[in-house]
């Protein structure tokens, strides 16, 4: 079993009688999580200046620190200020600079919660927050408002209420377990929860979001993997931000999950001073796919409190994608997204490859800057849809037929829906409209406007 000299040194300073078996025990790692500055300095053999020590005390009073000995061992003490692991794990006084745009809950997860532990934002899937405990408190965490204050798991009553909501909402076909970290639940508790979800007929897919392969790879035990294997189809997304995090231990953990037939994805966050560099991101995505992990999302850093020093311009993310698309395999390229403040969900942001278009052709450019055209069909007649999905004899012809209820822009494009406009709530023009009796119109602000526009008006 691998055990680097630095890991041995940290282990001896924590527990003189400890051996490599202790180091690789995830319970031992959790018991010895580093939560104070004196221990941090002692384990790494460094001493921070007095001013930095005071800044540390001020920061952890609001945003606590917790680092596994394993993840601590990845820090380079000789270049600590520029170390990407240190920046993700060690509190910075910049976290106390709360900007005007910062929000405690920027994604409105609490506002979109119809039941305990549940966030229901997208039509067919829910977020199920089953843990308030993490192996490490990431300094860029979007849920700083709830993770780290009290390490805990939701009570069984809250979990059952969340399960009841999923059971009573047939539209939910996809459940994402997150937290905190679901893999900090005991195997037996996670096994029970997965069994309850798998017993719900309309739940087709269960996903788990975890950072344990990054900060606590020893949590991926043979017994955990054997239990997960019983609940297919499962998908797991993890959270590597830098190539340095893909150590031998991390790769071994990923191999166990992949060998169990679990598809793996990765969600990185674009972080200033950590991975805002094309060469770093290219090395990261290449290492991920070498280990059977598909780069899934590259997130623009959220507007959570205290993350201003981590945020980059959106242009930096576009620059990175320009250097990936066409320059490496397509499955190495993550989707760059902004998780919209206010609960708008993930919005893809990509370089612009469509330059212009006309009735007959579109003008495109490729990654090299080559400009080309694509000829549109001379005659395209869409197949008439009578909107009767249950008796469809056309392309749909799926058994059983599942009618797609479009919303938003998709609703305007659908030929089976009468909506011709989406109107913002409290639109002044519509508020001014009255019927012939001087009463308010029946049209409610925010509703889709069906049928032709009155008096020949074309809705904006």
- Is 277 catalytic? The answer is no
* Beta-bridge mates of residue 125: 122, 174
| Given the residues 134, 297, 299, 332, the one annotated as active site | 134
- Is 122 catalytic? The answer is yes
DSSP reduced 3-state for 298: strand
Give the C-alpha separation, 79 to 63, whole Å: 24
DSSP-derived letter for residue 377 is: P
Say if residue 84 is exposed, middle or buried (CB neighbours under 10 Å; 0-12, 13-18, 19+).
Answer: buried
Query: Is 77 within 8 Å of 45 (Cβ atoms)?
Result: yes
| Given the residues 121, 167, 251, 316, the one annotated as active site | 121
Strands 361-365 and 371-375: antiparallel
- Is 429 catalytic? The answer is no
| Given the residues 24, 87, 125, 207, the one annotated as active site | 125
- Is 432 catalytic? The answer is no
Give the C-alpha separation, 289 to 178, whole Å: 23
- Is 138 catalytic? The answer is yes
Each as own residue / partner, the long-range contacts of residues 153-161 (CB below 8 Å, 24 or more positions apart, any chain) are: 153/180, 153/185, 153/189, 154/116, 154/117, 154/129, 154/130, 157/116, 158/116, 158/117, 159/116, 159/117, 159/130, 159/193, 161/115, 161/116, 161/117
Query: Is 434 within 8 Å of 440 (Cβ atoms)?
Result: yes
- Is 121 catalytic? The answer is yes
Angle of helix 278-290 versus helix 314-322 axis, rounded to 10: 60
Give the C-alpha separation, 280 to 84, whole Å: 11
| Given the residues 141, 144, 297, 311, the one annotated as active site | 141
Give the C-alpha separation, 122 to 207, whole Å: 15
| Given the residues 173, 229, 282, 346, the one annotated as active site | 346
Cα–Cα distances in angstroms (integers) from residue 447 to residues 36, 86, 442, 452, in the given order:
54, 49, 10, 15
Residue 169 exposure: Cα atoms within 13 Å on the Cβ side: 22
Token pair in block for residue 234: 């499962």
User: Residue written as tokens 């001493």?
Assistant: 47
| Given the residues 25, 62, 102, 122, the one annotated as active site | 122
- Is 31 catalytic? The answer is no
| Given the residues 165, 287, 302, 332, the one annotated as active site | 302
Q: Nearest to residue 274, comparing CAs of 214, 184, 332?
A: 214
Q: Return the number of other C-beta atoms located less than 10 Å from residue 154's C-beta.
A: 19
- Is 433 catalytic? The answer is no
| Given the residues 143, 144, 256, 287, the one annotated as active site | 143
- Is 259 catalytic? The answer is no
- Is 83 catalytic? The answer is no
**Active-site annotation, residues:** 121-122, 125, 134, 138, 141, 143, 302, 339, 346
């Amino acid at each position: 079993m691998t055990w680097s000299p630095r890991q041995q040194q940290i282990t001896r300073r924590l527990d003189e009688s400890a051996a490599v078996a202790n180091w690789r025990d995830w319970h031992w790692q959790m018991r010895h999580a580093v939560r104070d500055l004196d221990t941090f300095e002692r384990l790494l053999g460094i001493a921070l200046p007095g001013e930095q020590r005071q800044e540390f005390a001020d920061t952890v009073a609001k945003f606590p620190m917790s680092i596994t000995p394993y993840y601590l061992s990845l820090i380079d003490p000789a270049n600590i200020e520029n170390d990407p692991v240190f920046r993700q794990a060690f509190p910075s006084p910049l976290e106390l600079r709360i900007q005007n745009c910062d929000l405690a809950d920027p994604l409105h997860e609490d506002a979109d919660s119809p039941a305990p532990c549940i966030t229901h934002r997208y039509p067919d899937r829910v977020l199920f927050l089953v843990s308030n405990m993490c192996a490490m408190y990431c300094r860029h965490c979007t849920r700083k408002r709830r993770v780290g204050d009290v390490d805990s798991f939701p009570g069984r009553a809250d979990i059952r209420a969340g399960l009841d909501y999923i059971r009573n909402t047939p539209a939910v076909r996809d459940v994402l377990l997150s937290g905190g970290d679901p893999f900090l639940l005991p195997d037996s508790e996670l096994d029970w929860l997965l069994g309850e979800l798998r017993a719900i007929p309309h739940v087709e897919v269960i996903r788990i979001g975890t950072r344990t392969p990054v900060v606590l790879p020893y949590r991926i035990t043979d017994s955990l993997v054997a239990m997960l294997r019983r609940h297919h189809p499962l998908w797991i997304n993890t959270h590597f931000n830098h190539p340095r995090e893909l150590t031998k231990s991390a790769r071994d953990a990923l191999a166990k999950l992949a060998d169990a037939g679990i598809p793996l994805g990765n969600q990185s966050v674009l972080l200033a001073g950590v991975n805002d560099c094309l060469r770093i991101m290219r090395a990261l995505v290449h290492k991920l796919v070498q280990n059977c992990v598909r780069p899934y999302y590259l997130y623009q850093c959220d507007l959570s409190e205290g993350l201003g020093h981590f945020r980059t311009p959106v242009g930096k993310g576009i620059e990175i994608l320009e250097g990936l698309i066409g320059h490496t395999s397509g499955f190495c390229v993550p989707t760059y997204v902004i998780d919209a403040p206010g609960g708008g969900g993930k919005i893809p942001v990509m370089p612009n490859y469509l330059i212009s278009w006309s009735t007959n052709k579109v003008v495109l450019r490729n990654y090299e800057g080559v400009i080309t055209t694509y000829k549109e069909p001379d005659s395209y007649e869409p197949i008439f849809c009578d909107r009767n999905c249950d008796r469809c004899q056309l392309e749909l012809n799926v058994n059983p037929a599942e009618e797609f209820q479009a919303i938003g822009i998709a609703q305007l494009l659908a030929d089976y829906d009468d909506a011709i406009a989406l109107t913002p709530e409290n639109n002044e023009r519509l508020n001014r409209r009255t019927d012939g009796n001087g009463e308010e119109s029946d049209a409610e602000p925010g509703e889709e406007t069906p049928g032709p526009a009155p008096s020949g008006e074309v809705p904006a």
